[in-house]
């Protein structure tokens, strides 16, 4: 047996073991979470689906912005336009009905203000420094990249500290939430938004540097046995890789199911914040003097297990979904390549993302995807300032490297 064959066999065996363990954890966790109600079990499974999709489609938010600003590669941005368009079409009838099985359904609506713009700008910088956004770092951790743990921990810290200073930021000028459907109706609002997305997609295509081609997964092919790279049909679905368009379709469907089951759009930041708050309580923090933590949702999160929280459970599910995806593809590898400068950059990025996300009512998932899919103008403003922050950070990094 040659060295390459032994390497493939070793990695295949390791991935098979990880797959078996992960499937066992999924089954046990799904059953255990039913203690907190059937919804938690379903949302956990949806989180797994989201993590697996992010892995198989190589779907990313921050990486798409980076490729656009540095290479004028618009494939990731076009996939996001597709995701937003599909989510808009799926969300609109659900939000218009406003209730499913007796449960109220609410969109991701938020005020338009200075704090939100500043927060999105900080988040844009942070996701480039941190090597990914909220869902990206969770998926990366699930795929075995342990360096993302630095970003996750500092994201939690940043969001928690922002919650303690929330009264100050709330004093800055802001305007009530604005949604297209309020003035145009649901049909008019959806039509306007789809038109805007179509125009945006056209602009991306016009300015794209090279002819649009399907995403190349060749770097990953080196990490998997040869027979895994030529899968078709059902095995292609199970093992991946998927196209970005397929990822966008599946993410839109899972996001809509999350809206229906939980009564709110998919969120990432709140789960991080809940983890940080529970850790702070263990260390002696008393929430009595913090206005932010006196609200009913915050009190519920503090007084109940992290497994009773929707976002927390979905974040955990996302990690397991990414592990599952990597194991199914035969390329799960635990790795830690982290120098002190890299750790510092990731730490700064995670902190800026956490702090910025709380100021701007979410991250790429809840503010951008959830906000725009809910026809909220704040989602559009969020991405404008986040893109500006990303561009500025990449320009600064390029100057440091002499590019």
Tell me the per-residue pLDDT of 322-343, one tens digit each, with 9 for 90 and over: 999 999 988 888 888 888 889 9
Residue listed under structure tokens 């927390």: 312
Residue listed under structure tokens 């945006």: 200
Tell me the per-residue pLDDT of 72-126, one tens digit each, with 9 for 90 and over: 999 999 999 999 999 999 999 999 998 888 889 999 999 999 999 999 999 999 9
pLDDT score for 19: 84
Show Cβ contacts of residue 248 under 8 Å, excluding neighbours closer than 6 positions: 57, 59, 79, 80, 82, 83, 86
pTM higher than the cut 0.75: yes
CA-angle at 319, arms to 149 and 234, nearest 5°: 140
pLDDT score for 236: 82
Counting as low any pLDDT under 70, the low residues of the chain are 1-15, 211-232, 400-403
pLDDT score for 12: 56
Cα distance between residue 197 and residue 219, in whole Å: 31
């Amino acid at each position: 047996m040659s060295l390459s064959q032994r390497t493939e066999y070793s990695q295949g065996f390791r991935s098979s073991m990880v797959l078996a363990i992960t499937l066992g954890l999924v089954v046990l966790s799904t059953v255990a979470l039913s203690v907190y109600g059937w919804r938690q079990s379903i949302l956990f499974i949806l989180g797994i689906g989201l993590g697996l999709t992010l892995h198989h489609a190589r779907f990313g938010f921050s990486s798409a912005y980076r490729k656009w600003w540095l290479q004028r590669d618009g494939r990731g941005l076009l996939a996001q336009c597709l995701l937003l368009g599909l989510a808009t079409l799926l969300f609109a009838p659900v939000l218009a009905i406003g209730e499913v099985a007796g449960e109220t359904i609410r969109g991701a609506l938020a005020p338009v203000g200075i704090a939100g713009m500043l927060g999105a700008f900080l988040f844009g910088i942070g996701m480039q420094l941190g090597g990914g956004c909220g869902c990206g770092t969770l998926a990366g951790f699930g795929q075995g990249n342990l360096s993302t743990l630095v970003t996750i921990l500092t994201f939690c810290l940043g969001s928690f500290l922002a919650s303690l200073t929330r009264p100050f930021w709330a004093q800055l000028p802001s305007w009530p939430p604005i949604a297209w459907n309020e003035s145009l109706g649901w049909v008019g609002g959806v039509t306007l938004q789809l038109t805007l997305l179509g125009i945006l997609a056209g602009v991306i295509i016009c300015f794209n540097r090279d002819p649009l081609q399907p995403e190349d997964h060749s770097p990953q092919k080196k990490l998997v046995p040869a027979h895994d790279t030529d899968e078709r049909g059902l095995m292609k679905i199970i093992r991946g890789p998927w196209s970005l368009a397929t990822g966008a379709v599946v993410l839109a469907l899972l996001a809509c199911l999350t809206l229906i089951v939980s009564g709110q759009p998919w969120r990432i930041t709140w789960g991080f914040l809940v983890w940080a708050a529970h850790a702070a309580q263990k260390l002696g923090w008393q929430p009595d003097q913090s206005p932010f933590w006196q609200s009913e949702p915050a009190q519920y999160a503090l007084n109940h297990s992290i497994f009773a929280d929707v976002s927390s459970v979905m974040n955990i599910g996302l990690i397991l979904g990414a592990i599952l995806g990597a194991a199914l593809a035969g390329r799960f590898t635990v790795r830690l390549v982290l120098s002190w400068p890299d750790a510092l950059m990731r730490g700064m990025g995670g902190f800026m993302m956490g702090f910025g996300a709380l100021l701007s009512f979410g991250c790429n998932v809840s503010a951008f995807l959830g906000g725009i899919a809910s026809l909220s103008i704040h989602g559009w403003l969020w991405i404008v300032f986040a893109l500006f922050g990303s561009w500025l950070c990449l320009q600064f990094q390029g100057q440091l490297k002499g590019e």
